[in-house]
Amino acid sequence: METVEEITVGKVITCKAAVAWEPKGKFIVQDVQVDPPLAMEVRIKVTHTSLCRSDLFFWTNEALGHTFPRIFGHEAAGIVESVGEGIDDLKPGDHVLPVFTGECKECKYCASPKTNLCSKFGTESLATGMKGDGKSRFSVNGKPVSRFLGSTFSEYTVVEYPYVVKINPVAPLDKVCLLGCGVTAGIGAVRRIAQLEPGATIAVFGLGTVGLSVVKEAQRRGASRIIGVDININKAAEGNFFGVTDFFNPDNLDKPVEEVIKELTGGGVDYAFECVGNPKVMATAFASCQDGWGTTIVLGVAGPATVSIPTRSLLTGRCMKGTLYGGYKPKTDVPALVEQYLHKDFDVEEFITHNLPFSRINDAFKLLQAGECLRTVLHYNETVN
């Protein structure tokens, strides 16, 4: 089992991180300084991090006005190096997932079984610094470097306690890192948000890791028809491998894909999942649903964009809802999800198409931008091939 060096506790750690100095700029793998955790904060030695499309979205989207330099990354696994004051159920050596949506267990949302939002520790950790004092724990030679969610493109990171999920130490960290975002989002969307029943028909728009995770879970739950829609033609074969029964590339059709789906299903699918992050695709997903009960579930992240849907379809019983992290409460639900993975209730290996040493992060982003990978896992232990 991997261990942490106790000699670093309470000290600034200098370690490798991939720093984005400007939007779309190359990631520079360089030494950064990581401060010790303050009260109710946790410093984590990140062992593995995978790349998610949201990292790409926020890194490349200048309109969102994020500050740079910045350390991205939010789908990861690691080991607690040290904890700040006030934390009594986490200790150095514990295996954890740093997650992007927190759970304080006290607020109105945390008290409700209807949501996994948290009003105190939500995704506003998109901010530059920590909640306590507003400062980042990262710096380069004294110059502050902003955080982004868990900032896991760094060998060490500091996050607030509500964003840390303790997991079974038996779980392989190079695999369960995927449960920090995309795969969990897909599984939860099917189980918790759709509550998909056997025999249901579905359409999945966007067959990346998130979409294929929806496909796989729908197949496990006995969906009768799983329609995959993607503009990347290579996704036809890949989708088929994961359980897609009918594939469409909208660019190759002579009529709108929603019409094709309606014809194929005799009126529309029971559930449509948007796994792209495009408001137009969200509207198409909605249009592909059955009147009376068709439900569109949005998983794609599109920032502040708005979506346009006909109100008449709401009156005729369709609905559109969305979910972050599959509706799972991180501390309450995710350790059990890790156990289910260990019991082989579901797989994550099939989503890992590439493993690379952390120093090759720029190559990993090229793969993601070119649509040539599902998940690439970056290993901080550079001996990986």
Task: Give the interface with ligand APR as residue ranges (CB under 6 A).
Answer: 52-54, 57, 182, 185, 205-211, 229-232, 235, 275-278, 281, 299-301, 371
The residue whose Cβ lies closest to ligand APR is 208
How many chain residues bind Zn ion (CB under 5 A)? 8
CA distance 257 to 261: 6
Give me the least distance between CB of 123 and ligand APR, in Å please: 12
Q: Which does 206 bind (CB under 5 to 8 A by kind): Zn ion, ligand APR, none?
A: ligand APR
- Report whether 194 contacts 367 (CB < 8 A): no
Give me the least distance between CB of 122 and Zn ion, in Å please: 8
The H or E element containing residue 83 is: strand 75-83
Give me the least distance between CB of 155 and ligand APR, in Å please: 23
Give me the least distance between CB of 236 and Zn ion, in Å please: 25
Task: Determine if 9 is a binding residue for Zn ion (CB under 5 A).
Answer: no
Site string for Zn ion, 42-81 (x = CB under 5 A): ----------x-x---------------------------
Alpha-helical (H) ranges within the chain are 53-60, 108-111, 173-176, 182-188, 209-220, 235-242, 257-265, 279-287, 311-315, 330-342, 361-369
Tokens of 269: 């699918």
Q: Which does 107 bind (CB under 5 to 8 A by kind): ligand APR, Zn ion, none?
A: Zn ion
Q: Which does 186 bind (CB under 5 to 8 A by kind): Zn ion, ligand APR, none?
A: none
SS3 content of the chain, % helix, strand, coil (to 5): 30, 25, 45
Using the minimum distance from each CB to Zn ion, give the nearer residue, 107 or 126: 107
Using the minimum distance from each CB to ligand APR, give the nearer residue, 36 or 326: 326
Residues numbered 117-136 forming contacts with Zn ion, rule: CB under 5 A: 118, 120
Q: Which does 232 bind (CB under 5 to 8 A by kind): Zn ion, ligand APR, none?
A: ligand APR
Q: How many CB atoms lie within 10 A of CB 163?
A: 26
Locus of tokens 């309109």: 63
- Report whether 348 contacts 179 (CB < 8 A): yes
Q: Which does 125 bind (CB under 5 to 8 A by kind): ligand APR, Zn ion, none?
A: none
Residue 231: exposed, middle, or buried by beta-carbon count in 10 A (0-12, 13-18, 19+)? middle
**DSSP code of 25?**
P
Locus of tokens 């949005």: 298
* Of 78, 162, 59, 171, residue with least CA distance to 117: 162
Q: Which does 104 bind (CB under 5 to 8 A by kind): Zn ion, ligand APR, none?
A: Zn ion
Q: Which does 110 bind (CB under 5 to 8 A by kind): Zn ion, ligand APR, none?
A: Zn ion
Alpha-helical (H) ranges within 16-162 are 53-60, 108-111
Q: Which does 122 bind (CB under 5 to 8 A by kind): Zn ion, ligand APR, none?
A: none
Give me the least distance between CB of 95 and ligand APR, in Å please: 24
Using the minimum distance from each CB to Zn ion, give the nearer residue, 110 or 377: 110
Using the minimum distance from each CB to Zn ion, give the nearer residue, 122 or 228: 122
Locus of tokens 């449509």: 272
Using the minimum distance from each CB to ligand APR, give the nearer residue, 265 or 323: 323
Q: Which stretch binds Zn ion (CB under 5 A): 19-27, 62-70, 103-111, 372-380?
A: 103-111
Give me the least distance between CB of 24 and ligand APR, in Å please: 16
Amino acid identity, position 104? C
Concatenating the DSSP letter of every residue in 163-229 gives: GEEE--TTS-HHHHGGGGTHHHHHHHIIIIII-PPTT-EEEEE--SHHHHHHHHHHHHTT-SEEEEE
Task: Determine if 107 is a binding residue for Zn ion (CB under 5 A).
Answer: yes
Using the minimum distance from each CB to ligand APR, give the nearer residue, 185 or 227: 185
Amino acid identity, position 38? L
Using the minimum distance from each CB to Zn ion, give the nearer residue, 30 or 369: 369
Using the minimum distance from each CB to ligand APR, give the nearer residue, 95 or 329: 329
Among 17, 18, 96, 181, indicate the residue that binds Zn ion (CB under 5 A).
Answer: 181
How many CA atoms, within 13 angstroms, populate the side-chain half-sphere of residue 68? 18
